[in-house]
Amino acid sequence: MIEYIRTLVAPAFRLAGPVIAIAPLGEGLINPTFRVRTRGTNGRVGRYVIQAINHQVFPRPDSLMANLTRVLTHLARKMGPEGADPRRVLSLIPTRDGDTTWTDSEGRSWRGFLFIEDSLTLQSVTDPKLAYEAGRAFGHFVHQLADLPPPRLHEHLPGFHDTPARLRALRECAEANPMGRAGKAAPELDRIFAREDTVTLLARAQAEGTLPERPVHNDTKINNLLFDHRADQALCVIDLDTVMPGLALHDFGDLVRSAAASRPEGSGSGRLRLSLFEGLLRGWVTGMGPLLTQGEAELLAAAPRVITLELTMRFLTDHLAGDHYFKTDRPGQNLDRCRTQLGLLDSMEEQADAMERLVRETVRDRLRQGLCVPQ
């Protein structure tokens, strides 16, 4: 793959000079990603990210890239006083033909970004101050997209956070049992099916008009955020392929699920760290500012449970179906990921009262300061 990128993919983009080095980048499960270095005629080194779009996961790359282009253009215009730092927003690299993607002979779509210098990603956080930074950055991301001009963004992954539909898909897959794995997963299936009220919580609130639809990220794992290389401040939200219409609480819930857990996905029973939840919460509410509604505030503590259960179902469905969606390194890895998420969900349920108390205190302070919509 490295040589393929060097000889065919990289020359399709407007890079500053010939390629001198290529290396895999990141730990994502979806799109193959590589860091590319070039050297120009003046000796200056250029750094880029070259990425293939996984067509199995994203069957409509045209809609995906249309969303991405609109969002990045909007964010760049809104950088304001931070505009002097180009690390605050991703920058697409055009192809030699001026397009946003290049398609190879096998039909795969490739795209390029400027590499954001002096930055790093974190797979986890242990410091509540960093949790605050992560919450603030992702909350501010939703705030920045609130005035994105029409039309509505493409929903190129329909039902991505349709949690009730995820439950139906799991039931159907368990009943069909195509790989003969449902028996071994029976305890996990029982634990999931017993939580149908949690599954439908956000969907019911949206149907009742309590939660507004917004342009949101939809995949706010902690490693989808770049930090300054000193790891003391958040720089830039990345991996924007899932930016679509959705609920702000989907974003907050997934951020808590990924950043406040004591263990990463698939590495044993996870637990919620309440100090990290508090940091994420305070940062998120600060980043959202006056955009946060009372209806959203009332479900902030519950949203992580919904999204954790949703991912639990996705991991288990993929395991039962034969591991077609999430990349695995060994048999049973998606079942282990499911079990980790169930352990985290148990911990969230045990600490639900404390989470609700922290939300009340935080939102009360914001209301007092006029930084939350009292409706």
In CATH terms, the fold of domain 2-117 is Phosphorylase Kinase; domain 1 (3.30.200)
Domain 128-368 listed as CATH 3.30.70.1230: no
Spatial separation of the C-alpha atoms in residues 250 and 237, rounded to whole Å: 16
Give the residue with greater pLDDT, 225 vs 42: 225
- Which residues lie below 8 Å from residue 93, measured CB to CB, with a gap of 6+? 13, 14, 15, 48, 111, 112, 113, 114
pLDDT in tens, 39-79: 988 888 999 999 999 888 899 999 999 999 999 999 999 87
Whether 2-117 and 128-368 share one fold: the answer is no
- The residue extents of the domains of the chain are 2-117, 128-368
**DSSP assignment letter at 123:** S
Spatial separation of the C-alpha atoms in residues 130 and 328, rounded to whole Å: 29
Give the residue with greater pLDDT, 131 vs 84: 131
pLDDT given for residue 261 in this prediction:
87
Q: Provide the token pair at 53.
A: 């779009």
Flag whether pLDDT at 200 surpasses 60: yes
**DSSP assignment letter at 159:** T
Q: Provide the token pair at 54.
A: 């996984």
pLDDT given for residue 302 in this prediction:
98
Q: Taking residues 115-132, what's their average pLDDT?
A: 92
320: nearest Cα among 179, 172, 130, 151: 179
Cβ–Cβ < 8 Å for 270, 262? yes
Tell the burial category of 345 from Cβ atoms under 10 Å away from its Cβ (0-12, 13-18, 19+): buried
Q: Is 315 helix (H, G, I), strand (E, B) or coil?
A: helix
Cβ–Cβ < 8 Å for 49, 117? no
pLDDT given for residue 105 in this prediction:
92
Spatial separation of the C-alpha atoms in residues 58 and 258, rounded to whole Å: 22
pLDDT given for residue 222 in this prediction:
92
pLDDT given for residue 79 in this prediction:
77
pLDDT above 90 covers what percent of the chain?
78
Flag whether pLDDT at 180 surpasses 90: yes
161: nearest Cα among 243, 246, 229: 246
- The torsion angle over the Cα atoms of residues 235, 311, 110 and 151, rounded to 10 degrees, is -80
Tell the burial category of 84 from Cβ atoms under 10 Å away from its Cβ (0-12, 13-18, 19+): exposed
Bridge partner residues of 21 (DSSP): 37
Residue by residue, DSSP assigns 177-239 as -TTS-TTTTHHHHHHHHTTHHHHTHHHHHHHTT-S--EEE-S---GGGEEEETTSSSEEEE--
Flag whether pLDDT at 96 surpasses 70: yes
Tell me the pLDDT band of 375, cut-offs 50, 70 and 90.
Answer: very low
Tell me the pLDDT band of 366, cut-offs 50, 70 and 90.
Answer: low
360: nearest Cα among 302, 305, 297: 297
Tell me the pLDDT band of 264, cut-offs 50, 70 and 90.
Answer: low
pLDDT in tens, 312-329: 999 999 999 999 888 889
Sign of the dihedral defined by the CA atoms of residues 23, 26, 29, 30, in that order: negative
